[in-house]
Structure 1
Amino acid sequence: MGLLSELKLAVPWGHIATKAWGSLKGHPVLCLHGWLDNANSFDRLIPLLPQALKWNRFSLMGHSFGGTVAGMFSSVFPEMVDKLILLDSLPFILDINEVNNVLTYKRQAIEHVLQLEASQKPSMVIGPEEMLQGLLKNNTHVGEECGKLLLQRGTKQVASGLVLNRDRRISWPELGFDYLSRELMQLATQKLQAHVLIIKAAHGLSNVRKDQTDQELLLFSISVLRTVLKERFQFVEIPGNHYIHMNKPQQVAEIVGAFLQGQEVAPAS
């Protein structure tokens, strides 16, 4: 399965860069990368998945924050999504403290956007090796080979080095993260019509943080999904870190491929 084309989707503030793989005959699966990543994070996984499958509805696959965006979309527009695949991610973000301070949080988001838009500070130019080492230092789950793949798309070459080519406004998590209470999460889950698969990394983000509250919210989320979705929910845990789809694409592809074709995936370890 080769790259079909590079696409640019026009939006009021510029464009969204996308990549298309595979056959035009199959119904599309939209893949959403993680926060501050880019479409290259799927380069190793997509060629290993089955193609030209004629699903009746739209399917979504998301990694990390991309999975949360996919989950929210699937509950807001449930009739549009038939399958939802979450790679080391959950469909909704639970954070009781942030829910209680939601107005303050939204104010900070607006203020940060205004600050960035008013800033005339040019993008920082960094040498290729320094850029790579900075990425690896800030994200210990990304190996050198995968880091180079992300920077290949996430930077652009200028005369004296590389600059990041992302919209700086997305560097503030509060601009995109919507926190839900337990009650709202249960309601959102009840709206889902999709079959849902979660592939959890044994050493993913939830394990690295080791925060007791995070662990409790993770277990609560899984419990609600199992209770509400029943046979429409599948969960599997595999060895690896947060970037399992890049570091272990073959193993992830086998699970995702089986799920897309309506098969039972391996049970959680």
Structure 2
Amino acid sequence: MGEDVVPSLFSELRLALPWGHIAAKAWGSQHGSPVLCLHGWLDNANSFDRLIPLLPKGFYYVAMDFGGHGLSSHYSPGLPYYHLNFVSEIRRVVAALKWNRLSLMCHSFGGSVGGMFSCIFPEMVDKLILLDSVPFFLDCNEIENFLIYKRNLIEHTLQMERLPKKPSSVISREEMLHRFLQNNSQMNECGELLLQRGTTQVATGLTLNRDRRITLLEYAFDFISREQFEHYITKLQAHTLLIKANQGYDGVRRQNAANKETLGFMIDKLKSVLKERFQFVEVPGTHYVHMSHPHHVASIISSFLQSRDRIPAQP
């Protein structure tokens, strides 16, 4: 390994919160420029294990587990997993680490959380890196359903609380991995890495660490309209890099022409509002390209982190 990249060794962090703790893993020196790494929905901090060792030293990379994910505490009974609560977790982590300014590197759902944080606290975010992700989720054709989503989240939370408490299911490693890949075909060999942090080994198999309340994805996502998107990004001060995988996801729920059109709308608006502060690069790979083929994105991210100039055009 060259001297200009981060050592592969990492340390575990445990940051106290009112309901428990946020778990995280860190690479590099605490004196380096901070980069907070945000994983995707139902994933965990291991999402960045293969990428961060390829990135430049001089930065302090901290990959956190969102609440209810990985090794972080579950939310207390009665406290739902609202999208804004995840945004608040970033602010709590930043305060615990005593950072005044940071960069964010986000994958998938982490991008919507990091994007919202970057617009609410624009003075705190220097650079925003979106890995096959967007800073907000738009549901342009279903604005009338926004209130339905919020109602469903409340009803789902109450329903889950009425269910009797039962022990976590114990499943063999092979079956657990099979279910992972069955639910997400783009994960492929990355599933094993996420299982290492997302499960606990018991005598007869594995149990999932995550809170079962977070499994209904679209209820906890915060969908916004085009008008809201246009207003929100005017608050964004960060230099922003969006890396799209050519075989990745074009939308949060369905891959169709409407999602591709929505992505095009967001990219065009980011270009027009942020101007030279926005960069867009498409790379070969799936939604988990930063795990399966991290070298496809490492040099792009390294150039972006180390310079305010535009990254070189990709062949």
TM range (shorter): over 0.9
- Shift in Å, 1:115: 2.2
- 1: CA distance, partners of 2:271 / 2:186: 28
- Shift in Å, 1:2: 3.4
TM-score (normalised: structure 1): 0.93
- 2: CA distance, partners of 1:245 / 1:170: 24
The match for 1:105 is 149
- Structure 2's unaligned 5+ residue stretches are 1-6, 61-98
After superposition, the CA RMSD in angstroms is 2.0
The match for 1:258 is 303
1:90 aligns to 2:134 (yes or no): yes
8 Å CA contact 1:44–1:246 kept in 2: the answer is yes
- 1: CA distance, partners of 2:18 / 2:172: 32
8 Å CA contact 1:67–1:89 kept in 2: the answer is yes
- 1: CA distance, partners of 2:141 / 2:17: 33
- 1: CA distance, partners of 2:217 / 2:298: 29
Structure 1's 255 and 125: CA in aligned 2 closer, same or farther, altered over 3 A? same
8 Å CA contact 1:98–1:105 kept in 2: the answer is no
- Structure 1's unaligned 5+ residue stretches are none
- Shift in Å, 1:98: 4.3
Give the aligned residue type for 1:24.
Q
1:23 aligns to 2:68 (yes or no): no
Give the aligned residue type for 1:226.
K
Q: Percent of counterpart pairs with the same letter?
A: 62
Deviates more, 1:211-220 or 1:165-174: 165-174
May I ask how many residue pairs the two structures share in their alignment? Answer: 268
Deviates more, 1:216-225 or 1:205-214: 205-214
- 2: CA distance, partners of 1:256 / 1:90: 16
The match for 2:285 is 240
- 2: CA distance, partners of 1:127 / 1:231: 50
- Shift in Å, 1:94: 0.6
Give the aligned residue type for 2:245.
A
Deviates more, 1:90-99 or 1:221-230: 90-99
| Cα distance per residue 1:158-195 (max 9 Å; x no partner) | 12110100122221224431111111100011000000
8 Å CA contact 1:156–1:163 kept in 2: the answer is yes
More helix by share: 1
8 Å CA contact 1:106–1:174 kept in 2: the answer is no
The match for 2:76 is none
SS at match of 1:200: strand
Give the aligned residue type for 2:179.
G
| Cα distance per residue 1:7-38 (max 9 Å; x no partner) | 22333443322111111111210000000001
